[in-house]
Structure 1
Amino acid sequence: MLTHLLRTVCLSLVLALGLFTFGTSTACAQAGAAGPLLKLLQSGRLPKERQPQVVEMVVTRGGPDDLAFIVGEVIKDDAFSAPLRRQSLTWLADAARVRKVVPSGDLSAIKQLLTGDVTKRDPAIINGAIELAGLWKVAAVRPQLQELAQSDKTPAALRRAAIGGLVSLGDAESKQTIRDLASSGKSVQLRLLAAAELAAIDLEAAAAAAGTIIPELTSKIDPAPLLDAILGRKEGAEKLAAQLKDKKIPEEAAKISLRHMYSVGRSDAALSDVLSQAANIALDAPPPTQEEAAKIAAEVMAKGNAERGEQIFRRKDLSCIKCHSIAQAGGQVGPELTALGSISPADYVVNSILNPNLAIKEQYVTRVLLTADGGVVTGIVIDRDDTRVRVRDAAGKILTIPAADIEDEAEGKSLMPQGLTKFLTHDEFLDLARFVSELGKPGPYAVRKVPTIQRWRVLSSPEKLVLDEVPNVELLREHVLDTPDSAWTTSYGMAGGDFPLAELSSGSEGAALYLQGQFDVIDTGEIELELTAPTGTVWWLDAEPFEGTTLAKREIATGTHRVTIRVPKAAGKLRMEIRKPTDSTANYTVLGGQ
C-alpha cells in the first residue's frame, strides 16, 4: 500500500514539474522510491508547499544516505521552513525508533543545532535534536546535555529533554549523572525529572527516589512526568506503593498524586489505597447494582443541577474533557457526548460513570502492550502493520511502538478508571450526572445548528511586544502566527458554544490573551464570521486584521484557516460562529479534536 503511494506521489511530482525521463520513470516504479524523490528535493525545482510531502516520503522509506541529506538540510537555517524542520526531526526519530535506520556519515553534526544559548531558540527543534542525539548514541553531546540537565536556568521542558537524552545515550557516565540527579538534585523538580527518566533503566532506583519526592510535592510541582514514567513500567505501581507505604505523606501531596493517577486512567489498587489513606479520601467503592443505579438515577433527575454539573465536568482534577468531547472538541479516548442525554436514560449515564467497565463499546476497547524492555503501554489501537502499532493513551497522546519490541499483548479495561468519583461529594455527582443526561435534549444543551469554534488554542507566554499593544501584521506573524505548536495550550468552549475567558486567569490583572481557532475549507465560497467578545478585542482571519467590527464576510479559499483573537484580559465570554450564507458554495468544517 505504502509502496504504491510512493510510486504515485513520485510520478505525479515528476510529471507536474516536467522532470520526466525514462530513467526517472523506471526508478519511480521500483519499490524504493526515496531516491527519485530525493532528486526532486535536490533539483531546486520542487515548490515549497510540496516539500513536506516529499521529505516525509524520503525519511519514511529512505536508507542511511537519504536520511543523511535530510539531516544536512535540517541543520541549515534556510533550507527548510521552521515547521518542516520541526517535523523532519520527528520523522527522523521515528525512522530510528521504528525502522532502526540512522543517517550515514558523521552523526555528531547534530551538535550544530545545540550550540549557543539553546534556551532562546525554537524549543521544538532543540528538543528534537536532543532526542536524535540520544537515539543515534552521539556521545559528543553528553557535556551539553549534562550542563542543560544540571543548570537551574534551563526551562523544565528542555531540562527533561536533556535528561531523557542522557538516558538514551546509555553509557555509564550518562547513567550515573541521572542517578546522582535523582537522589541529590538541587531541587525537588530536578530530582523528579531525573527519577522519571531513571525509571526506564532502573525501576527500583526510580521508585526509591519517588518515595522521597512524592511527600515533598506541592501544587506548584507537576507530578505527571514521574508518575507516568513509573506507571508505564511493569509492576511500577506496586513498587511505588511499597516505597510509599510507610512514608508520612502530606494530604496535599497525596491528593495531587492521586488526582493525576486517575486522570490518566489508572486506579491500581495498591497505590490507590496508599494515596487515598494519606489524602483522607474514601477507598474505591464497589460499583452499584442495577437497583442501586436506578435509585441514584431518580435522585439525579430530581435533585441534580445541569448548570453546576457543567462546571464540575470542566474541572481539571476530574479530566472529563481530557477524555470526552462535546461538539467534536475535547478528548478522543472516550465516547463523544454531544447528544448522549437524548439517546440514553439517566441510569445508563449513572452506570457509565460509576462502573465504566460494565459495557465498553468496541471502538473504545483498550489493549495493554508489554514491551521487551519492561514498558507497559495501555491505549486504544488506532492502526497497526508489520512494523509498528499506534495507540492513543488516556492523555490523548498517540504513541508508536515498534512491532518487534512488543513482547505480549492483552485486552485492557476502560481508560476511565473506576473510582474517579471519589473526588466528588454526593451532590456534585448528582449535578455532573444531570449535566451529561441533558446533553442533546431541547434547551440550553441541544445540538447546535450553527458551527461554532469549540476548541481554542491559547498562546502560553505571549511576548511583551504583542502584550502591550495590538501588533502589526509583521509582528503578528513573527510572535503569534509562526510560533511552534509547543507554545500553545488547548482549552474548550462550553456546551452552548461560549468560552469563559475567566478560566484563563493567571492572576495577572489586565494581561492580554491570544486565542486561536481553526477551520478547514473543502470547497471555496463565501462564509460569514461573527464574533462575540469583550470590548477592545481585535481579531484576524489568517493575517487579515479586524478591529472595531464583529462581523465579516469573505470569499474563502480551500485549505486550513486560522482565526486569531486578542482579548484585553481574562474576563467575559468569547464566541465565534462561522456561517454559510444563502447560495454560497462554501463547504467547511470547524476543527475540533484535542
Structure 2
Amino acid sequence: MATRAKIEPSLAVLLQENQPEIQIAAAEMMGSLGITAYNPKLVEILNDSKSPDVRAAMLTTLSTLKYSDMEPIIKLGMNDADENVRARALSLVDGSTLSPTALADVVNVVFEKGSVKEQQQMLRTLSTLPASKTEPILDRLVTRLENKELSPNINLELTEAVDSTKSERLRSRLASSKPKGEGMANFMDALTGGDRQQGARYFYTNSTGQCVRCHAINGRGGEVGPSLTKIGGTLSREQLLQALVEPSARLSPGYGTVMLTLKDGQSVSGILTEESPQELVLKTSEAEPLKVPVARIAKRENLPSSMPPMGYIMSKREIRDVVEFLANLK
C-alpha cells in the first residue's frame, strides 16, 4: 500500500509521455498494483496511440484491472490494423468477458480480417467455451466450409471446436464435407496449417516419435531410414502425410521389400532400389539387379515397413506440424 501511495500521483504524468516504453511501463505498473483510477485514460490511449505495442499493453492492463466495459474494448482490439494487437485482444476472449452477440461479432472480424494463425487461435478459444455460446457460431462456420469459403489450414481446429459442442447435428454436417474412407482419409485435417518450428522440434527432440533416430537431415540423425534433407522437393504434402500414417504404402528406394507375382505365374521378391512408370529394379540374392517391367506384373505387395504407422503414436496436431516441417525441406 505504501508503494502504491507513492507511485499513484506520478502515473498521470507518465501516461502523458510520448515515449511508448514509458507509457507501457506505467500501464504495467497500474496492472500489477491494481490501480483503477486511470482506466478512462488507458481507454483514451488505446484509441489514440499510434504505437501497436502501446495499444496492446493498454488492452492487457484493462483486462488485468477487470475494466467494467471490456466488450467494446476487445472488439476495438479485434478491429485493429496490427496483427499483434488483434492477437492480444483475441487472447483476452473467454466465456465471461463477452456476450454471445459480442462473441459472434469478434469471430466475424477474425474470419474476415484475421490471419490463419488468428483463425486457428479463435477456434481453439471457442473449443473452451460453453456450447450454448459457440454452437450458432460454429454452425455458420460449417456453412462457410461447405461453401469453400474457409482456408483448409483451419480444418483441424474447426473439427476440435465442433467436437467440443457434442452436437451430433454439427458433427454430421462437418463429416459430410470430409473425405470418406480409412487411413489417409482420417488424417486429411493434418495436411496443411501446421507450425514448421514445432514440427522441427518434434522431429529432433520428441522421445516418443524418435524420428531423428532413423532419419537424418543434413547429416544429423540416423541412417536406418532414408535421408530427409530435401524431402520437400521430392514428395508432395499428400505423400509426406501418407509416409507418416501409412508408411508401407509407398517405399523409398533402397529401404523397402516388395513381393511381385508376375503374369506368367512366377513370384519374385527383393529390396526395391529403383522405380519408374516402366519398371521396378530389385536387389535380390543374385549378383545383378533384377529389372521387372511393370507390364509383366500381375500383383504387387509392399511388405510392411519397419516404421510404425505414426497415427498411433502422434496426435493429428503433431503430424500436421511435422508435415509442415518436412514440406519445407527443399
TM-score, reference length from structure 1: 0.29
Point out the structure with max Rg over C-alpha: 2
Higher strand share: 1
The structure with higher relative contact order (CA 8 Å, sep 6+) is 2
